[in-house]
Chain A
Amino acid sequence: MRQVARILRVVFFMASLMVFPCCRRDLADQQHHEPMEASSVFPDGSASRTPPEHTLARGQLHEDVLFYQGKMGGDHAAVFPAPVTRAQLERGRERYDIFCSVCHGSAGVGDGIVVQRGFPPPPSLHLDRLRDAPPGYFFEVITQGRGLMYPYGSRVEAADRWAIIAYIRALQLSRHATLADLNAEQRKKLEDSAHE
C-alpha cells in the first residue's frame, strides 16, 4: 500500500511537470489584444480599430486650417505656420531622407533608388514651377498625394510635413543661391577658401 502511494506521488509530480509548459503558454498569451494583433471579434480581423466615419478622437479636431490643411482663405498658404528654425530644417532633412528620397533622390532631382528600379520618375523639385509654388501646395501634395504618388497624410505628422517643406525650400535655394545672398562674413569665408 505504502509503495503504491509513493508511486502515485511520483506520477502526480511527473504529471504536474507536463502541465507546466501549458500553463506558461496561458500566461504568455493572455486574453487581451496587443496592438495590431489578429482578432476574431471584429469583421476585418484586426484588433487595432480605425475610427468610425465622421468621428474624431480628442485632440484631433484640427481647427487650425493653416497648420493642418496648408490653406489660407481657401487658397494654398503662401507662408509657413511659424517661422522656420534651424532645428526644424534638420528634422526636415531627416524626414525627407526617410520618406521622400527613395523616389525624389537626396538632392530632389527625381533619381531616387526606387526610380532607378523602374518607378516612373517624379519631376525635379528644382523646376521653376515648383520653386514658385507656395508652401501650402507642397503640404497638399504630401498630405493627399498626387497622380502616381500616394498620400503621406497618415504616415507623416503635420509638423513633420512642414519641416519637410522647409527643407525642400532649402534644397531649392541651394541650387540658386548667388553671392548676393551671403553676408559679409560668409563672403569672406568663401573667398578665403577659394584662395587656398
Chain B
Amino acid sequence: MALPALVLGVAALAWAAHAALFSPYATVVGVPVDQPVPFSHQHHVGELGIDCRYCHGGVETSGFAGFPATETCMTCHSQIWRDAPMLEPVRQSWATGKPLRWKRVNDLPDYVYFDHSIHVQKGVACVSCHGRVDQMPLTAKAHDLHMRWCLDCHRTPDHRTQPSDQVFVMSDPPPAKQAPTAHGTRMEDCSLCHR
C-alpha cells in the first residue's frame, strides 16, 4: 500500500529536481539582478549610443568581456549627475579604490570553458547571446545558457555569424548572412567546452 505512494513521491521529486534545474527560474532569464548601482544599458547604449567596447574592453581580445573600472564611470560622472545619490557607490569606490561589486547576470558553471574573443572574431553578435541589451533598464539574462543552447548554434554556426561591423550593433533578428565561416569540425566535441 505504501509502495505506490512512495513511487509516486519519488517521481514527483525527480520531476521537481528536473524542473528546478531546467526551468528559467533557476537561471532567471529575463529577471534583472539587483546591482550596487542601477546601471541602465537602455540609457547608456540605447539613448546615448555608447559602444560596448567603451566599457567591456576585453571582449575582442580575451575570453573575459570584463566590467568597466570605476574610472570609466567617473570619466563622465565626475561632471554629469555628479551629486546624484544613485551614483554615491561609484564616488565611494573612486574615493576608496575599492572596486564596485557587480553581481553576475550570466554565469556559466566553472566546469564550462567559454571565450568571448573567438565568438566576436568569427562574427557572432552580442545580440545573438545577450539579446536587446540596449532595451534593458536593468540587465537580465536573455538565454538560459544551458548546454543545449550552446549546441543549437554550434551545429549550424554559419547561419549565425555576421560581418564584423555588425557584431556590436543592437538590432533585432541577426540581419544579413555572411558567407560560411571556416570552422573546425570539433564544434560539438565535449572537450571543446569541458577542458
Instruction: Point out residues on A near B: beta carbons under 8 Å.
Output: 6-7, 10-11, 13-14, 17-18, 20-21, 24, 27-30, 32, 34-36, 38, 44-46, 97-99, 102, 113-114, 117-120, 148-151, 154-155
Contacts and interface: CB of A to CB of B under 8 A. Distances in A.
A10 B78 CA distance: 63
B6 A7 contact: yes
Contacts of A32: 110
A18 B10 CA distance: 10
26 contacts: A7-B6, A13-B10, A17-B10, A17-B13, A17-B14, A21-B21, A27-B109, A28-B110, A29-B110, A30-B111, A35-B66, A36-B67, A45-B99, A98-B51, A98-B53, A99-B54, A102-B50, A102-B76, A114-B48, A114-B76, A119-B76, A149-B75, A150-B71, A150-B75, A151-B71, A155-B72
B99 A46 contact: yes
Interface residues of B, number: 37
Given A7-B2, A28-B110, A97-B51, A14 B66 contact: no
B101 interface: yes
Contact of A28 (B7, B71, B109): B109
Contacts of A119: 76, 79-80
A102 B44 CA distance: 11
B30 to A, nearest CB: 21
Given A27-B109, A114-B76, A38 B10 contact: no
A114 B77 CA distance: 10
B3 interface: yes
